[in-house]
Chains A and B, each alone.
Chain A
C-alpha cells in the first residue's frame, strides 16, 4: 500500500518532467525535428508512395525475368529458372526479328530525324520577320502535343486506299491504288517520316534556345570581316549549338534499342509484323496474349541493359572525340 501511495506524487511530478524533454528537443532540433515539421513529411508522402510503387515496384518486378512466373502462383511460389528465359528468347526467331526491327527503325529515325531538327532550327534562325517565324514555329511544335492516336488516325486517313494520297496518285498519275500501311517496306518509312514530323519542332526549340545564347558580337565581327551568312552559320552557329547536339545525340543513342513503341502500337497491323514488330510490341504480345510474363520481362530487361550500354559507349566516344566532352 505504502508504495502505491508514494507512487502517486511521483506520477504527479511527471508533467513537470515532461516539459523538459520537449523543450530540449525543440532546442536540439533546429532543422528536422519531426514534431515541429511533421506537415512537411505529410506533404512529401503522396509523392514518396507513388515513386515507391510505380518507380521501384517494377524494378523489383524484374526478378520475374528469372522465374517461370505465373500470376496465379505469384513471385514467391514461381520456380527459379535462372537464365532460361533469356535462352528461350534468343532462340526465338521472332525475337531476333523484333530486335533487328527495333535497331533499323530507331537508327533510321536517328539519321533522318536528328539532322532534320537541326536544319529546321537553322532555317528558323535566319528568319527576321517575327510573325512568319512565329507561325512556322507554332505549326512545327503542335504535333508534339497531339496524341499518337490522333496522329495515327490522320496518317491512316492520308494513306488509306480511299485517302488523299491514293486519290491523287490515281487521278493525276494514273497509278494503281496502293495499301501503303500494309506494305512492310513502305510502312517502315512512314513510321520514320511520321516520327520526324511529330518531333522535329520540339527538338528545334532546344537548338533555337542554344542559338540565342550565342554572343551577337561574334556575328558582328564576322560581318565586318565580310563573312557570308552561310559562312557565319558554319563557323559560328553550328559550333555554338554543338553542346546541345552532343547532349541530344548521346541521349538519343540510348534509345537506339527503343524504337518508339507507342507510335508502332498505334500504327501497325499483322501484315507488317515482319518489319514493324519491335521488342516492346513483341514482349507485350508475349505477356498479354500468351501469358508468358517471365519471357516478356526477360526481353524488356535485355533491352534496358543494351540501352544503358549504348548510352555509356556514346558518352565515352563523345568524351574522347569531341571538345566539350560527354554528358557525364
Chain B
C-alpha cells in the first residue's frame, strides 16, 4: 500500500518500485505490527464490554466499547491511592532531581569553584564501579528512609550521567553573559535562576523527561523499600497481574480478576506516556543520543 504511493510523490528521482523496496516496506510494516500489537491488544481488552468478551473465543481485535473497567479501576481506593503516589513521586522526585542536578552541574562548570576536578572525579567513579544491589539496599535502610515517601524520591537524587550532560552544556554556555552579571554584582543564585535556567530550557526538559519516566516506571525498589500503603501503581499492577497468573496456574475454580480489569490498570499507566510521547519524542531521542556521547 505504501509502496504504491511512493512513485507518485514529487522530487523522487529514485523512487521507483523495485522488489527491494517492496521487501523493505513490507518488513517494516511487519515490525510495526509486532511493536504496536501488545499496546493495541491491552487497550482493546480494556474497553471490551464483558458480554462481547464472553461471546467470542478469540479476542485478537477490539469489539465494542465500554469505560466500565476504567470506572472500576478509578473507584478502587487501593489503585487510586497508588496512582496518587505515582504522580506525587514523579512530580516531587523529578523536581528535586532536576534542581539538584542542574545546580550541581552549574557549580561544577564554574572556574571559581575550587577542587572542581576532584569533585568531577567524585561523580565519575560510581559510573564504573558500583556496590551492587544488596549494599545499596542496606545503605538506604541505614539512612532511615525505609517506609517513608522519601525512600521513593531521594535515592539517586543526582544521576552522574545527567550531571555531566548538563555540565557540558553549562561549560559551552556563553561565558560573557555570566561574567557580565558577576560584574554587575549578581550572586550565583541569581545568575543561575534568572539567567542560566530560563535560557537552558531544552536541556532541562530533556533530563526532566528522562528522570520523570524513570520515576513513573520505577517498580522494584518501591516494592521493597516501602510498605503497601506507599506502593506506586506499578507495584499494584504487578501484584494484581502476577496473582492472577498464579491462580490460573493452580487451575483452581477461583474467580479470576478479569483480563480487562488488569488491562485497564495497565492502560492508565501507559496512557500518559502515549499522550505526551509524540510531543516529546524529539527530547527523548535527544536524551538517547546524549547517552551515546559518553557511552
Known A-B contacts A48-B104, A293-B138; the reply to A171 vs B245 at CB < 8 A is: no
Known A-B contacts A149-B219, A244-B292, A327-B295; the reply to A54 vs B132 at CB < 8 A is: no
Known A-B contacts A51-B126, A132-B2; the reply to A271 vs B249 at CB < 8 A is: yes
Please tell me which one of the listed residues B114, B155, B160, B237 contacts residue A150 in the complex, with CB atoms under 8 A apart. Answer: B237
Give the secondary structure class of A's interface. Answer: helix
Please state if B35 and A296 are interface contacts (CB–CB under 8 Å).
no
For B289, the chain A residues whose CB sits under 8 A away are 205-206, 209
For A284, the chain B residues whose CB sits under 8 A away are 133-134
Please state if B36 and A205 are interface contacts (CB–CB under 8 Å).
no
Known A-B contacts A136-B31, A251-B295, A265-B220; the reply to A154 vs B245 at CB < 8 A is: no
Within 8 A of B (CB), among A123-153: 123-124, 126-129, 132, 135-136, 138-143, 145-153
B163: min CB distance to chain A, Å: 7
Within 8 A of A (CB), among B232-250: 234-235, 237-238, 241-242, 245-246, 248-249
Residue in A closest to B56 when the chains form the complex, CB atoms: A167
For A5, the chain B residues whose CB sits under 8 A away are none
B183 near A: Cβ within 8 Å?
Answer: no
Interface size on B, residues (CB 8 A): 106
A10: min CB distance to chain B, Å: 35
**A137 to B142 Cα, complex, angstroms:** 44
For A142, the chain B residues whose CB sits under 8 A away are 35, 39, 273-274, 277
The 10 closest A-B pairs by CB, nearest first: A58-B131, A61-B135, A47-B104, A300-B132, A147-B217, A55-B126, A57-B139, A58-B135, A44-B107, A50-B157
B77 near A: Cβ within 8 Å?
Answer: no
Please state if B35 and A139 are interface contacts (CB–CB under 8 Å).
yes
Binds A, one of B20-28, B65-73, B199-207: B20-28
**A247 to B45 Cα, complex, angstroms:** 41
Residue in A closest to B218 when the chains form the complex, CB atoms: A147
**A172 to B12 Cα, complex, angstroms:** 44
Known A-B contacts A40-B188, A157-B41, A206-B292; the reply to A280 vs B133 at CB < 8 A is: yes
A197 near B: Cβ within 8 Å?
Answer: yes
Please tell me which one of the listed residues B217, B241, B281 contacts residue A153 in the complex, with CB atoms under 8 A apart. Answer: B241
For B228, the chain A residues whose CB sits under 8 A away are none
For B139, the chain A residues whose CB sits under 8 A away are 53-54, 57-58, 61
A156: min CB distance to chain B, Å: 6
**A53 to B134 Cα, complex, angstroms:** 14
Known A-B contacts A43-B189, A209-B289; the reply to A55 vs B160 at CB < 8 A is: yes
Convert B183-197 into 0s and 1s, putting 1 for each residue whose CB lies closer than 8 angstroms to a CB of A: 000011100100000
B: residues with CB less than 8 A from A are 2, 5-6, 9, 12, 14-15, 20-21, 24-25, 27-28, 31-32, 34-36, 38-39, 41-42, 45, 57-60, 100-101, 103-108, 110-114, 119, 122-123, 125-126, 129-143, 154-158, 160, 163, 187-189, 192, 213, 216-220, 224, 234-235, 237-238, 241-242, 245-246, 248-249, 259, 262-263, 265-266, 269-270, 273-274, 277-278, 281, 284-285, 288-289, 292, 295
Please state if A128 and B15 are interface contacts (CB–CB under 8 Å).
yes
A301 near B: Cβ within 8 Å?
Answer: yes
B194: min CB distance to chain A, Å: 13
Known A-B contacts A146-B217, A154-B38, A182-B249; the reply to A40 vs B157 at CB < 8 A is: no
Q: Which of B12, B39, B140 has the most CB of A within 10 A?
A: B39
B267: min CB distance to chain A, Å: 9
Please state if A157 and B45 are interface contacts (CB–CB under 8 Å).
yes
